[in-house]
Chains A and B, each alone.
Chain A
């Protein structure tokens, strides 16, 4: 069956360290993959989009990689801050359209 997998366990890290979140998928060949941030009780906020022909994308302290062979995307936040604490969702193209399918998200907790 088709799946989008994000670690359901929260990631706890110390302030200043690099947080790395993983998104794995099976049985898809997505044209793109997106990462969103969601705070409790709020709607998601778009962070980054990476296309299938791109290996890496950066935006300020954020870096996303996309390995279509491994069927995996890694989301990195460098020099993490307590304000980065949130749930991070990956979303990817599962049906050849601009409407992505979302994973469950991984909670990141950055301790001061």
Chain B
């Protein structure tokens, strides 16, 4: 039973560039959430996708956008990268039919470094 998988594991970009991160949810899950974890901090919610639409969004600028595909996998795109975007980006999946307050299953994350 495959868990949440993310790619790539590490990425180095420069300021102003654009980046795309990818996530495959745990088998049987249909909802994907993205979190940003700065060094030494707790994860911060970016947004959540369900049925290929953004369902909820945290306090992140429009430079952060996403997509969900029919197979439930998801991408996180960040444009015009800033030094402050350096962080671990975590993907989490869950099953919408199970109702709210369900535990989310996390991937190992993508470490993004901006030079």
A and B are interacting partners:
no
Measuring CB to CB, which residues of chain B are less than 8 angstroms from any residue of chain A? none
Q: Give A contacts to B, CB under 8 Å.
A: none
